[in-house]
Amino acid sequence: MKAAYKILNPKFFIKHSEVIASFLYEGVMQFSDEIRLVGIDPGRIAVLELKLGNDLVETTNKTKLEAPINLDDFSKITKRFSDPEELTISFDDFDNIVTIKGKIKNKTKTFRLSTIDMDMTDFKDPIPMLSKIKYNVVFKISSGDLLDALKDTELYSDIFTISTDNGLVIISATGIIGSSKTEIEPITEIYAKEKSSYSTGRTKKILTPLKGSDVLVMLKKDYPLALYDRLSAKSHMLYYLAPRIDEEEDDDD
């Protein structure tokens, strides 16, 4: 069976596909009346979900199909489109090929990508369980402000602390040479106190391509940090990062 989709916001899809590939080697693309890309990294540090609902894709398909793909290869393909005027994605489960086709000015590019060998019976979708977390603090903040504060903290440590107090978001870090602290006024009001620590490098990877947009942050001590980039009522990008990563981050530069 073949499912074909017209992506109504190619820029959003391409931007987040590249971020996913920076975390994960492989993932599962699900096709129904929407497109959903989900994966969890081998170290179970990051879980990512890119969802384009039926308000941002045009398709006649109603049957659920799954395509396990190499995300690095997929990202290399989507980067070749930059900012296309049109973008379509299709999947044929007969030959297990994902086809990406885009139009840029006077050029039309078509790429075919084979699926990878993955036992789908072993794939457990992590999103339903994570969505049950009852976060103590939820607020909207400028991704640019958050990213700038993280660049301050990485002068001192690979781990930053995010806390809320007196309606402010506080980003801080402490190291051998000293410490940094940035207080940010969020876009939405905060009524509770909370505090937890996360990987600076991994959080920067998420926020860098989002600079200029506002993100929803969900926070609870010693629980995954959730970052949510909402595109429409049915479409979003959702990242979960495990708390306090104390490992080497050689690949985060």
pLDDT in tens, 26-79: 889 999 999 999 988 877 788 999 999 999 999 999 899 999 999 989 989 998
Q: What is the pLDDT of residue 251?
A: 47
Q: What percent of the chain has pLDDT over 70?
A: 95
DSSP string, 211-238: TTSEEEEEE-TTS-EEEEEE-SSS-EEE
Give me the pLDDT at residue 232, please.
87
- The length of the chain in residues reads 253
Query: pTM of the entire structure?
Result: 0.86
Predicted confidence band of residue 170 (pLDDT cuts 50, 70, 90): very high
CA atoms of 75 and 217, how far apart (whole Å): 25
pLDDT at 252 over 50: no
**Average of per-residue pLDDT across 147-176:** 96
Model confidence at 120: pLDDT above 90 = no
Q: What is the pLDDT of residues 93-104, one digit of tens each?
A: 999 999 999 999
- The domains found in the chain, sorted by start residue, are 2-130 (3.10.150.10), 137-252 (3.70.10.10)
Asked if the model's pLDDT at residue 221 lies above 60, the reply is: yes
Average confidence score pLDDT of the chain: 90
Average pLDDT value for residue range 198-222: 90
Q: What is the mean pLDDT of residues 1-23?
A: 87
Instruction: Please report, to the nearest 10 degrees, the dihedral formed by the alpha carbons of residues 161, 162, 168, 172 taken in order.
Output: 30
Query: DSSP 3-state assignment of 129?
Result: helix
Q: What is the 8-class DSSP label of residue 243? A: S
Average pLDDT over residues 186-203: 94
Distance between CA 86 and CA 13 in Å, rounded? 12
Cα–Cα–Cα angle for 39, 112, 108, nearest 5°?
A: 115
Predicted pLDDT of residue 139: 97
CB atoms within 10 A of CB 135: 15
Reported as a pLDDT band with limits 50, 70 and 90, residue 249 is very low
Please provide residue 148's backbone torsions phi and psi, each rounded to the nearest 5 degrees.
-60, -40
What is the rounded CA–CA span in Å between residue 75 and residue 80? Answer: 9
Q: Does position 245 have pLDDT exceeding 50, yes or no? A: no
